Structure 1
Amino acid sequence: MSGGARDIRRRARHQNDNSGDGPARTTFDKKKQSKPRQIRSALLIGLVALSTIALAILYLLYQWYLTERVRTQASLPKMLFPNSSSAEVDPLRFWGSYRSQLYFGMKTRSPRSPVMGLMWLTEFTNKMPPPLRHWCDQSDGLPKYGWTKHDGINFGSQAIEEETYTMRTDFVKQKGGLHGGEWTAKISLKEKNPEKPPTVSLLFYIALDSSSGSAHLEPVLTKKRLSSVSGYSDELGNFEVIFPKTKSKLQKHNYLISYLPRLDKINDVVLNGMKVDAWDSARTLPYFTLGGRLVGRDSPSPPNFMVHQVTAQLPLEMEIVYQSRSFIDRQSTLSGDIFTSTLNRFSAEFDKKFAETFNLESKGYKENEVTFAKATLSNMIGGIGYFYGASLVQSKYNKEPLEYWKAPLLTAVPSRSFFPRGFLWDEGFHNLLISQWNPTISKDIISHWLDLMNWEGWIPREQILGYEARAKVPQEFIVQRNENANPPTLFLTIKKLVGHMISSKDSKDQAFLKALYPRLQTWFNWYNSTQNGPLPLSYRWRGRDSNTVRELNPKTLTSGLDDYPRASHPTDQERHIDLYCWIAFASEIMADIAKSLGERWEDYEATARILKDNNHMDSLHWSDKKQQYSDYGLHTNRVKLERPRPPPNLNPGQRPPPMDQEKYRVIVSEPTYQFVNAFGYVSLFPFLLKMVHPTSPKLFKILTDLKDPRLLWTDYGLRSLAKSAHLYNRYNTEHDPPYWRGPIWMNMNYLALSALYHYASTDGPYTDMAKELYTELRSNIVANVIKEYERTGYMWENYDDKTGNGKGSHPFTGWSALVVLIMAEEY
């Protein structure tokens, strides 16, 4: 074909391709239609990507929420206003002996309070370093110390006994000015043997926390003697601490001006600031003295720690006068004779109020027994501390502990020497006594505790707030975990307080109830949602270690009864009778408060009715085999502690394991689900909280068992675990002695006497039996506690069930101080 013909045909095809519905037009349309599809695909991919990102963000936010929930405050109105503890609102209680862990110290109820405290040492003992007294410490070996009178507001008097001399600390407060008034403290020392008077150095200091902001101190020196310290803080304004001249023979004065990095470092700074000087002109008697101004060039701030030292041969008296510059119309200084007369007036008022509150003289108690009771109450009141800081907490969602929010806590402490911090389950018992003495202080303490509630309704059971408190606690006990409860013993005191407030017309009482109720509601709901058991309306303590290899019986620290025998193998199927009774007790009080406020009370009353129904309780916890109330769980008694044995056939050159290896737990026979029939305090809970019906034959069995000396009865009180129990007085590990496995505990004996008093006053077939037991048990307890106090100088954590001797930490004027209520028959 010629080239022209090919061109003609190409043109013809080109014309055909561009006419009608030819192929070229169809391709164009497909491309045009594919653009919306591409756009839709892109949008879909974008939406998927955005959704993925959104889900990832939501997931991260949810994970953050889970990790932060443990330290998120409850979304409820606070019980305390932010300035409720301030000098403007409550000037009478602004200053106080709120440093529980010190032999003597003063501070305000403010997070940034200047702190003041006493230290002392006996000279010429040739000990290095010198035995410096400051924090209450059992290892100091003092024969005796403690408050003899303390009213919680105006004054306190304390007696301290050393081997060769006695010391008395007194303080008195007075109104005046705009910043919480003023106070004076007097330290008096007297030798035991006038022919050999010891020489003692008294050191009184004032310190600022390193985070005290604009606060500052200025020393005033007079002839090389620290005569006073002037200071300023936001809460106190301008103030001064005056050290009047002392009256004694052979006295010398020294001082220390230094920088204190943290309050728990006071001892270190003082000891590092000491030097040895000559006491006599012949330079034969060296004594320890403070080194003057010792502030390094690298100090991060001006001096915030000043110590006034007086060294003298006894007798010796030293006054410390705190004055506010805002007190412009002061008529006289609270010192000398004016101090003494004011102290005597407050002391007489204390005696009068004590007699009216407890009526011990009318019950036939002798003077020494009344004096004991006054000291015991005073040590409870004088042990109230004001703490500020943040707990370390952890949930299952946190890999590492977190800091709770910073908060204040006003609380009594179990023991100034050993447990100078707040314990949730102890505090309910403490306030049974405190509320009898001063309901306002008790309401304040309860409010502080309930304001520590987080979003879930959890309250950390042990409060270790601030450097000084943390320095007293072993590392393994510092972190608090939010699945762990503690007995809600605050309901014991709340029941006592609410009984008066429900019928009260006082607007303050009604306001307290309205603030109290939503927090109790949240707290109660937390127990029911986190401590519930495997069966409906059964309950189980969390926090037991199912993987322990060192404990004979895994502890239940959350119950407060630590090593009391529970199921040998912790599982989710356990049921705990004591927790069951605590919830029953709390639900009844919740119903009463709800009714008084016009809130919905029906569910609380229904819960209380079911839990207090003896048939329901018996179906979960009555052991027909042992005829007692018991826990239920996976259990065997055949468990022992053994040291690892060497392999039977050692290979050549193979060494046997060292003989000093710690003992570990060996299961001799496999556990089965059964009642845990260790008879003791836990078995008594339906009786202790008055849940057993007064006509029930089970009450007769309980009362019969109480009096059996083979079980719990002793001449000194009810022991914690029956002598017939498998773990009675057994060590829980090779090194952990029995704690709740035999010793006599005052809080449980108080509950037992309260129950006996109730059943002795209630019509029923066992009324006379309860009366007889009540009279004898009360007499035994009171006689033994007073005997031990007079023999040893102390109240004790618990008492030996064989001898009645005091055991554990001392002085222990936490719940052991309930003996005052026992003497007064106030339940």
Structure 2
Amino acid sequence: MRLVGAISALFVVSTSATRGDEQLSQSQLDSELLWGTYRPNLYFGTRPRLPNSLLSGLMWFGLDETNWQNIRHSCELGDNLSEYGYQRHNGRDFGEQMLRDSDHGIEIKSEFVKVAGKNGGSWAVRFSGQTTESNEEGAALVYYFGLEGNGAIAMNVGKGSAKIVGKTDDLGLFSIRIVPSAKNKFPVVAKQLQKIPELSSVGKKISGIAVSAPKTEVWRAKDIFQREMFLSARKRVGFISNHVGADSPMAGSVLFSLDNDGLKKRDRNLFFTQMIVHGKFSFDVIFECEDKNASISRNDIDFLVKSRRTGFDHRFEATFGLRGKGFSEKQVDMARDAVSSLIGGIGYFHGSGLLSKDPKPEYGIDQVISEPELSEPYSLFATTPSRPFFPRGFLWDEGFHQLVLGQWDSNMCMEIIQSWFKTMDASGWIAREQILGSEARSKVPPEFQVQYPNFANPPTLLFAVEKIAEVYRFMDHSKISSDKLHGLDLQDSGENGCEMKDDDIDLLQKQDEKAVTDSSDTTMRKTLDELAENAQRLLDYFQRTQIGGSAIGKSLAERGYRWRGRTMDHTLTSGIDDYPRARPPSTDELHVDLYAWVTYMISVNAKLALLSDDAERLSEMETQLECHLKALNDIHWNEQERMFCDVTVQMRDDFDELEDDEDSAYEHVFVCHRGYVSLMPMLLGLVPHDSDKLGHILDMIEDPDELWTDYGVRSLSKSDQYYGKDENYWRGPIWLNINYLVLSSLHRNYVSVEGPHKKQSQRIYTKLRENLINNVFAQYEHSRFFWEQYNPETGVGQRTHPFTGWTTLIVPIMAEKY
């Protein structure tokens, strides 16, 4: 077993609430997680965690004169859906979602269930809903299956259902049924149209077509279907004109009905079924593996949905305890939707990325590098920040996502973390944006597709790795000197991010003891060693490639670090894109947020070294940590401004090139902008609880003329010259991930610690948490969406939506589980 009981408890989840998932063997886990809604870029789609396999997806469109040209398939901001997202999704065998499309006059509910069995088991999805009163023509519902790889597949369409049978090496034999309800109603059609012999499919419950598509183009199912439908509609116009006349009514339900075409031809690999409906409707899609013990009947679906819905709700309360904290039912529903939509955004991606072998030249340096090339295909299992706009893996975002997912399903969390680490190259580099395959590249402008090996990203994956270290340290504390543990803490008190709190210990003690005793120390050690190796490689990469300029000093700590990939107005690699930095960019500038991240990485590596009994590496990390903590203040603290600042180099105003030594021509100067970057040392727990610096930082946070708002902490000070200017992405708007770090650091490091800043820390923590919860809830109630960011003046959600990545951190904020 790869994941032992203690690691499964890493986010303090009750085993009783997770159905004993922690005790799964790896083969069981792989099978249970094989099939899923792993095409998050679609409104609904399934695939297995296998390359070049069987894909499926839903499409729909209204039947008036224009909507057929705007078929719904992939999530798009321009589709203007008034609501979509999962109300419940457990990540394993159940998910329900509501789709409301007022432009096409239709509402659709999807209910996905799965039954464990051979080759990933069987699954079914029931689609139900209705066309709205504004929709007089009806709507077309399309469900398709496409085979990307080798295998065989065929479809037959009868009077009341369609059946697909197939076989692949990975999935074995399988059968699929698409069954519309007998109660579905076809739109009313003029009698003269019903009598045309060539339109025999009009009025049927279901029809289908089979197409031969290049295996690399199966993901273009919508374009392929639209082309076939257009060709069919042109023929139907001719039939109607010949029999009734050119002035006859051209109902969309007639024009866009499909004949059962191509079903008997061989070598077809893309199959579409279509149901035309008006009013209330439902249809079932049932995929069954060859395992007879995993069969699903239509009568099973209702029972499975109801039982798993009830199980989900019980588990959600057991995990987050929101009702117990006094939240209203509507607030609990919002939190449930947030976690479910994050899980519903998990995807499996396979393909080649566009990579450069050479580092991208620094700003202002003219250097020729080789053309980027497509990598060998590889896979990634990951969450996604936003299904319509960012439906792929982002390294910076992923660590924050796991702070939510890890509390819900620790095994799935570890699967994702390990999947990311498997993409790490020999140098320790992980591409910050995973754009794998032509489908993913179709959503990204060409100028953003290439990944460069000198472009780092905040190492947020270590948030989860640190959690594992904390839990193991608690479970194995008797083997480790308490003095050693205390020596690695970045704060003086035990009540901080490196220690287990009393409530955490109480919850851990309630874990299923069998999950722990069944796990061998050897397996635990192997997992920790793997994580330690990856964390060390990541640290080595940062210290080798992000090293700062030479003008500040010679030693590693004195020299500091610099994000690569700078432009005049952007430092995309920092994750805080347009936050103001030195102008113009310089190879001698030093970035305080990057320094804080590297110092944090050293602290995590020190903890892992201690747990691994690696004395040599522990000594090295302890020395580096002590050095970095001191140099953080020496290099980046500006006593005059009373804040942490970036640093750059400029020529001295009084330099005389005739009289002065050239080596003394330049001096380092602070680049100070109050906001998220200047807060980073405190956010990562690097500022002692009794430090005067902490008081100045807390004053900055609490000042409404600087960072404080009634909706959250703004990204850039209101008094800054760049506040709200230009792109205004990280120049004022409120972001949930950084606000979470503010709360987490206060809660873990400062609130429960006796010292001069305890009362202020508690006051900020209490009010900020209340403001964030109230505003996110208010915006969700108003719009039915979670948003990428929130306006600092009004609190209104803005930019990408639904943004169910790190905005879902509102749930652990509500639960006070940091």
TM-score (norm. length: structure 2): 0.80
The superposition leaves residues 264-286 of structure 1 with CA deviations (integer Å, 9 ceiling, x where unpaired) of: 42221011010335899974423
Contact kept in structure 2, 1:273 and 1:294, CA below 8 Å: no
Aligned to 2:179: 244
Letter in 1 for 2:403: L
Give the distance between the partners of 1:470 and 1:196, measured in 2 at CA.
Answer: 35
Contact 2:36–2:48 (8 Å) recurs in 1? yes
1:655-674 counterparts in 2 under 5 A? 673-674=668-669
* 1:431 paired residue number: 402
Q: Structure 2: which 5+ runs fail to align? A: 1-23, 187-202, 360-368, 477-515, 652-665
Cα-to-partner distance string for 1:729-781 (whole Å, 9 max, x where unaligned): 111xxxxx211001000000000111221311111111011101111000001
Instruction: Name the structure 2 match of 1:335.
Output: 298
Q: Which residue does 1:683 correspond to in 2?
A: 678
User: Post-superposition shift, 1:145?
Assistant: 0.4
- Residue 256 in 1 paired to residue 227 in 2? no
In 2, distance between residues paired with 1:158 and 1:303?
31
Opposite residue 774 of structure 1, the aligned amino acid is Y
What is the CA distance between 1:342 and its match in structure 2?
A: 1.0
What is the Cα deviation at residue 541 of structure 1? 3.2
In structure 2, the partner of 1:229 is 164
For residue 719 of structure 2, the aligned residue among 719, 724, 730 is 724
* Corresponding position: 1:516 with 2:487: no
Please give the alpha-carbon distance, in whole angstroms, between the structure 2 residues aligned to 1:352 and 1:128.
Answer: 41
Give the letter for the 1:543 counterpart. Answer: R
Question: Structure 1: which 5+ residue stretches go unaligned?
Answer: 1-83, 637-670, 732-736
Distance 1:133 1:85 in 2: 39
Name the SS for the 1:99 alignment partner.
coil
* C-alpha distance in structure 2 between counterparts of 1:820 and 1:767, whole Å: 25
C-alpha distance in structure 1 between counterparts of 2:383 and 2:562, whole Å? 25
Please state if 1:392 is matched with 2:354: yes
Q: Does the aligned pair in 2 maintain the 1:631–1:676 contact within 8 Å?
A: yes
Counterpart CA distance in 1 for 2:353 and 2:390 is: 16
- Aligned pairs for 1:293-692 within 5 A: 302-324=267-289, 326-329=290-293, 333-336=296-299, 338-396=300-358, 399-502=370-473, 503=475, 506-507=519-520, 508-534=523-549, 535=553, 536-537=556-557, 538-545=559-566, 553-599=568-614, 600-613=617-630, 616-634=631-649, 673-692=668-687
Report the Cα offset of residue 371 of structure 1. Answer: 0.5
Tell me the distance in 2 between the aligned counterparts of 1:361 and 1:245: 39
Rounded Cα–Cα distance in structure 2 between residues aligned with 1:165 and 1:134: 14
Matched, 1:106 2:46: yes
Q: Report the Cα offset of residue 673 of structure 1.
A: 4.4
Q: Quote the Cα distance in structure 2 between the aligned partners of 1:114 and 1:433.
A: 30
**Is the CA contact 1:87–1:180 (under 8 Å) kept in the aligned structure 2?**
no
Q: Of the candidates 97, 121, 133, which is equivalent to residue 181 of structure 1?
A: 121
Contact kept? 1:486, 1:560, Cα under 8 Å = yes
Deviations 1:568-607 (A, max 9, x none): 1222211111111111111111111111112231111221
Aligned residue-pair number: 686
Deviation at 1:796, TM superposition (A): 0.4
Using the alignment, how far apart are the partners of 1:754 and 1:286 within structure 2?
A: 55
1:3 aligns to what? none
1:219: Cα distance to partner? 1.2
Structure 2 partner of 1:285: 251
Deviation at 1:511, TM superposition (A): 2.8
- Give 3-state SS (helix, strand or coil) of 1:170's partner: strand
Cα distance per residue 1:393-423 (max 9 Å; x no partner): 1133751112333221000000000000000
Identity %: 35
| Preserved contact between residue 421 and residue 469 of structure 1 (Cα < 8 Å) | yes
Determine which of 735, 749, 752 is the counterpart of 1:745: 735
Q: CA deviation at 1:172?
A: 0.3
Q: Could you tell me how far apart the structure 2 residues matched to 1:109 and 1:511 are?
A: 25
Letter in 2 for 1:590: N
SS in 1 for 2:276: strand
Q: Which residue of 1 aligns with 2:73?
A: 134
Closer, same or farther in 2 for the Cα pair 1:290/1:114, shift >3 Å? Answer: farther
Q: How much has 1:86 moved relative to structure 2? A: 9.4
TM-score, structure 1 normalization = 0.79
Question: In the alignment, residue 452 of structure 1 is paired with which amino acid?
Answer: T
Deviation at 1:292, TM superposition (A): 4.4
Q: Deviations over 1:249-278 (max 9, x none)?
A: 225333221122213422210110103358
8 Å Cα contact 2:39/2:347 also seen in 1: yes
Contact preservation (8 Å) 2:576, 2:730: yes
Instruction: Tell me, in whole angstroms, the C-alpha distance in 1 between the residues paired with 2:42 and 2:97.
Output: 12
What is the CA distance between 1:166 and its match in structure 2? 2.1
Could you tell me whether the CA contact under 8 Å between 1:428 and 1:489 is conserved in 2?
A: yes
When the two chains are superposed, the root-mean-square deviation of aligned CA atoms in Å is: 2.5
Once residues 259 and 356 of structure 2 are traced to their aligned partners in structure 1, the CA distance between those partners, rounded to angstroms, is 45
**For residues 217 and 575 of structure 1, what CA distance do their matches in structure 2 show?**
58
What is the CA deviation profile of residues 17-36 of structure 1, one whole-angstrom value per residue up to 9, with x for unaligned ones?
Answer: xxxxxxxxxxxxxxxxxxxx
Shift of 1:204: 0.2
CA distance in 2, matches of 1:468, 1:91: 26
1:243 match: secondary structure: strand
Q: 2:746 aligns with which of 756, 764, 769?
A: 756
Q: Report the equivalent of 1:64.
A: none
Does residue 199 of structure 2 align to residue 199 of structure 1?
A: no
Does 1:269 pair with 2:224? yes
Moved more, 597-606 or 302-311: 597-606
Question: 1:103 Cα shift?
Answer: 0.4
Would you say 1:90 and 2:30 are equivalent positions?
Answer: yes
